[in-house]
Chains A and B, each alone.
Chain A
Amino acid sequence: MTEEETAAPEADAARDALVATLTEALGDNLVASEVKAGVDLWVRVTSQAWVETAQVLRNQCGMKYFNFLSVIDWLPSPFGRDMDAQVDQPDPVEPGEMTWGITGGQTRFQMLARLHDPVNHVGINIKADLDDDQPTIDSWITVYPGANWHEREAAEMFGVHFTGHPNLTKLYLPGAFEGNPMRKDFPLLARRVKPWPGLVDVEPLPGEDDDETEAS
């Protein structure tokens, strides 16, 4: 990663300037930001300022390139890796405490989008907290038409509602599908209908404790 190190100071200036522009334009709606020197940039905005952020970034910062849009569900999976899952044990365990990633968070669902400046080659990750019960946010379609399918995907996978989306129908899933598969509390059935072959262990000698594992 030698390239990054040499290019670091310049890129940092660019990223800091971005944060400065955003702070000026959004004010309190910019909740948090983090610049990783020469690597990447994260900002967290309020969900009210979601569209405004995109407009500012597109019109003032040259972020013309729409990269992707998605959602993170910060709920720790009640099923773990499903390794201990058994066919006869489908009940989820109580999920643990939520921990958030870069720029923090307060709610379970968080928007995650990324834009890119194709001229200066700087990218930005934008996050926004969503309401837990009724995750709703404004659609980006007016700013980036490419957000259309991404928002449909996020809507069906996480159950987020995008206000102003013209056609918020299911993209991948069949129309009658119920549930939001990418939510952490949605079980991955493929891993639950079959016991893990690695669960069985070598049969111990009859009448002995199996504390010694490898003997050879």
Chain B
Amino acid sequence: MAIKIKIPGMIKGLGITFGTMVRTLTKGSHTVQYPHVKEAPTPRARGVIALHEENCTSCMLCARECPDWCIYIEGHKYKAPPRRPGGKPRKKNALDRFDIDYSLCMYCGICVDVCPFEALFWTPEYEYSELKISNLLHDKNQLGKWMETVPEFEDYEKGSEAKKAQVPE
């Protein structure tokens, strides 16, 4: 405890805490009173995955690439009416089941990346906690509802050569 000639650090330290107190009182705190005030996450935030069902061809790529094995897809083939009158009926895949188990999901985003048909999107929505862990299994209706919350993709910083993607509708 050598007291130096300059102001001892202990006294300067008191100044720091006092200054912070005054700042908090006059300029407000850094925290947000959560249920009353909500911070807006950035558009890229990986909150929850939304499914645009029309684009999904049940190709199983996401389910196969998922590191946690938390995507369950079932589909069947059916004959869709031909595009032009008189043409052959087309074989199409219909999606019967698309579940994501958020209690297993590790939010890595690989499924969104590998989707070749732009059927999966990230949304920054984060308020979907449940009292029962089984309720964290979101089915395709629930995942479809998240589509409304998908934000527009952001513009890129200068010097970028990346192309801006579009959210369907």
**In the complex, what distance in Å separates the CA atom of A213 from the CA atom of B57?**
10
Given A198-B64, A203-B77, A205-B77, CB of A215 within 8 Å of CB of B91: yes
Number of interface residues of B (CB under 8 A): 23
Given A203-B77, A205-B79, A216-B57, CB of A198 within 8 Å of CB of B63: yes
Number of residue pairs spanning A and B whose beta carbons lie under 8 angstroms apart: 53
A202 to B69, Cβ gap below 8 A?
Answer: no
Residue interface mask B58-77, A partner, CB < 8 A = 1: 11100111100111111111
Number of interface residues of A (CB under 8 A): 17
Taking CB atoms and an 8 Å cut-off, the chain B residues in 92-112 that contact chain A are 92-93
B148 → chain A closest CB, angstroms = 25
**In the complex, what distance in Å separates the CA atom of A29 from the CA atom of B73?**
57
B59 to A214, Cβ gap below 8 A?
Answer: yes
Chain B residues in 8 Å Cβ range of A214: 57, 59, 93
A118 an interface residue at 8 Å Cβ cutoff?
no
Residue interface mask B118-148, A partner, CB < 8 A = 1: 0000000000000000000000000000000
Determine the residue in chain B with the shortest Cβ distance to A210.
B77
**In the complex, what distance in Å separates the CA atom of A44 from the CA atom of B146?**
56
Chain A residues in 8 Å Cβ range of B93: 202, 214-216
Q: Within the complex, which residue of A197, A200, A210 is in contact with B66, where a contact is CB–CB below 8 Å?
A: A197
Chain A residues in 8 Å Cβ range of B59: 213-214
B153 an interface residue at 8 Å Cβ cutoff?
no
**In the complex, what distance in Å separates the CA atom of A214 from the CA atom of B57?**
8
**In the complex, what distance in Å separates the CA atom of A215 from the CA atom of B117?**
13
Chain A residues in 8 Å Cβ range of B60: 198, 200-202
**In the complex, what distance in Å separates the CA atom of A202 from the CA atom of B72?**
12
Taking CB atoms and an 8 Å cut-off, the chain A residues in 155-210 that contact chain B are 194, 196-198, 200-205, 208, 210
Q: Within the complex, which residue of A194, A203, A212 is in contact with B91, where a contact is CB–CB below 8 Å?
A: A212
B72 to A197, Cβ gap below 8 A?
Answer: yes
B73 → chain A closest CB, angstroms = 7
B92 to A216, Cβ gap below 8 A?
Answer: yes
Given A198-B64, A214-B57, A215-B92, CB of A203 within 8 Å of CB of B75: yes
B78 an interface residue at 8 Å Cβ cutoff?
yes
B90 to A203, Cβ gap below 8 A?
Answer: no
A195 → chain B closest CB, angstroms = 9
Determine the residue in chain A with the shortest Cβ distance to B76.
A203
Determine the residue in chain A with the shortest Cβ distance to B64.
A198
B69 to A197, Cβ gap below 8 A?
Answer: yes
Chain A residues in 8 Å Cβ range of B70: 197
Chain B residues in 8 Å Cβ range of A208: 77
Between A and B, 18 residue pairs with Cβ closer than 8 Å are: A194-B69, A197-B63, A197-B73, A198-B64, A198-B66, A202-B60, A202-B75, A202-B76, A202-B77, A203-B74, A203-B75, A205-B79, A214-B59, A215-B91, A215-B92, A215-B93, A216-B90, A216-B92
> Chain A residues in contact with chain B, CB under 8 A?
194, 196-198, 200-205, 208, 210, 212-216
5 closest A-B pairs by CB: A198-B64, A203-B76, A215-B91, A202-B75, A198-B63
